[in-house]
Amino acid sequence: MPRTEPATGAQLGPDGRLHHLITLEGLDRRLVETLLDFAADLRERCRAGARRLPLIEDRTIISLFYEPSTRTRVSFELAARRLGAQQVNFDVANSSVNKGENMSDTLATLEAMGCDAFVIRHGENGMPGNLAGLTRGATVINAGDGNHAHPTQGLLDLLTIRDRKGRIEGLNIVICGDIRHSRVARSDVHGLHTCGAARIHLCGPPELLPEPSGFPDCAIVEDFDSALDGADVVIMLRLQMERMQHLSGLNTDVYFRRYGLNSERLAHARPDALVMHPGPMNRGVEIAADVADGPQSAILDQVSNGIFVRMAVLVTLLGNSAYGHRV
């Protein structure tokens, strides 16, 4: 059973401002909405032609990914470069980690080289939060830890919903799939509750549903069709086979028939329901290709928004208060 309640580390610095981003849990609504507004503002400036917004050009950011990633790693890199920062992708596989160096020594070594911020993905719940408590001033941003949290994914999902629905307040949300192993579900739920979503249904087969105590104020259900009734937003999640040794016999055809989102099933939701998926997607397992590529899909908007949300987070955590966005 995965652990879901690690220490998150203090997110605020001595000045009371946000210094690390480990989880959306406990962040207040004003802060979350300020980050979303800032991301939308940066997006507008980029789309108006700004190729580069050198708001943190004196900063050095190192990404340490102990688990695979396409979207998060590349969008943090693009965000940092667009903001003028020096950005380094630490090559875990070819580093002294393989000679037995532990993570805190690795971080201390990189911080001694002048690193201002670490972007960390790790398979173990709580690792970025624990490391945040060990740095000598450098910022830590959680790029996804175990099944605990993925705060920038949560923020980009909120921005995508707000863009397409005009609000988050009062919406009916369904999150379907492998909730038990999902850090995205946890960060989405924290952000959606903070921003006033009316109803959140978590749906999946019993073996992939979470302990209810970890999700107060959510309805946890097995029947996907009834959960979809009246849904404004449907967030599909990947089956995380790498985290479910005990379910290696899971039949993906049977799963798709019961929990895959196809166009007939989507018709149970509101006609203008938004379809989302954090990726990577398994077409024909969680979602039919025509739905993933269809007019209700916001999946590529999620990807695009990831760059602007990560720019907003980097400037908020590392930028000078003169930008007016340090909170």
**160 part of the interface to ligand CP, by CB under 6 A:** no
Query: Could you give the CA distance from residue 150 to residue 309 in angstroms, rounded to a whole number?
Result: 13
| Interaction pattern, residues 296-325, with ligand CP; x per rule: CB under 6 A | ------------------------------
Encoded tokens for 209: 């549903």
Q: How far is the CB of 306 from ligand CP (least distance, A)?
A: 8
Residue 279 or 319: the one with the smaller Cβ distance to ligand CP is 279
- Host H or E run for residue 118: strand 117-122
Question: Interhelix angle for 183-194 vs 29-47, to 10°?
Answer: 100
- Choose the binding region for ligand CP from 5-13, 93-101, 275-283, 318-326 (rule: CB under 6 A): 275-283
Q: Are 121 and 72 spatial neighbours (Cβ–Cβ below 8 Å)?
A: yes
| Interaction pattern, residues 277-296, with ligand CP; x per rule: CB under 6 A | -xxx----------------
**71 part of the interface to ligand CP, by CB under 6 A:** yes
Q: How far is the CB of 68 from ligand CP (least distance, A)?
A: 7
DSSP summary character for residue 177: S
11, 95, 139, 238 from 132: Cα distances, Å: 8, 21, 7, 28
Burial (CB count within 10 angstroms: exposed 0-12, middle 13-18, buried 19+), residue 231 = buried
Q: How far is the CB of 153 from ligand CP (least distance, A)?
A: 5
- Choose the binding region for ligand CP from 2-10, 126-134, 274-282, 313-321 (rule: CB under 6 A): 274-282
Q: Which of residues 15-34 bind ligand CP (CB under 6 A)?
A: none
Query: Could you give the CA distance from residue 203 to residue 201 in angstroms, rounded to a whole number?
Result: 6
Query: Could you give the CA distance from residue 278 to residue 118 in angstroms, rounded to a whole number?
Result: 22
Q: How far is the CB of 235 from ligand CP (least distance, A)?
A: 11
Query: Could you give the CA distance from residue 217 to residue 320 in angstroms, rounded to a whole number?
Result: 38
Residue 55 or 90: the one with the smaller Cβ distance to ligand CP is 90
**191 part of the interface to ligand CP, by CB under 6 A:** no
Query: Could you give the CA distance from residue 208 to residue 224 in angstroms, rounded to a whole number?
Result: 13
Query: Could you give the CA distance from residue 296 to residue 272 in angstroms, rounded to a whole number?
Result: 7
**260 part of the interface to ligand CP, by CB under 6 A:** no
Bridging pattern class, strands 199-203 and 117-122: unpaired
DSSP summary character for residue 134: T
DSSP summary character for residue 246: G
Residue 88 or 281: the one with the smaller Cβ distance to ligand CP is 281
DSSP summary character for residue 261: B
Residue 221 or 241: the one with the smaller Cβ distance to ligand CP is 241
- Choose the binding region for ligand CP from 63-71, 87-95, 190-198, 260-268 (rule: CB under 6 A): 63-71
Residue 53 or 69: the one with the smaller Cβ distance to ligand CP is 69
- Choose the binding region for ligand CP from 4-12, 65-73, 133-141, 161-169 (rule: CB under 6 A): 65-73
Which of 319, 322, 238, 220 shows the shortest CA–CA distance to 284?
Answer: 238
Residue 129 or 279: the one with the smaller Cβ distance to ligand CP is 279
Residue 55 or 117: the one with the smaller Cβ distance to ligand CP is 117
Residue 144 or 319: the one with the smaller Cβ distance to ligand CP is 144
Given the rule CB under 6 A, which residues bind ligand CP? 69-72, 144, 150, 153, 278-280
